[in-house]
Amino acid sequence: MAKTDPVKLLNVDEVAVQLGVSKSNLYRLRCYDPKRIPPAIKVGSHLRWRQCDIDKWLDEQAKQSETEQREQTEQAEREEVSK
């Protein structure tokens, strides 16, 4: 029989700490701008997030930020050369 790794589920408090936002902001983002945070899972009446989803989302945000910074640097260099 194959052994599976248990999926760690995080509650609102834990996710808020990992993302560096308040609980109220996390709830607000989930309702009004859900693409800005990782998707939640309803377990009964509770919200839970998979740790692997949080980790993946944070990695994607870091890559996006690095790309944006690189593009800004390249743009500034092009503007400096054209002066």
Place of tokens 């949080």: 54
Q: What pLDDT does residue 17 have?
A: 96
Q: What is the pLDDT of residue 83?
A: 67
19-62: pLDDT as tens digits: 999 999 999 999 999 888 999 999 999 999 999 999 999 999 99
CATH 1.10.3470 corresponds to the domain 9-82: no
- Taking the C-alpha atoms of residue 33 and residue 27, their distance in angstroms, rounded to an integer, is 10
44: left (phi over 0), alpha (psi -120 to 50) or beta: left
- In the structure, what pLDDT confidence band is assigned to residue 77 with cuts at 50, 70 and 90? confident
Check residues 32 and 79 and name the one with the higher pLDDT: 32
SS3 46: strand
Distance CA 13, CA 51 (A): 13
What one-letter code names the amino acid at 7?
Answer: V
**Domain boundaries in the chain?**
9-82
**Average pLDDT score over the chain:** 87
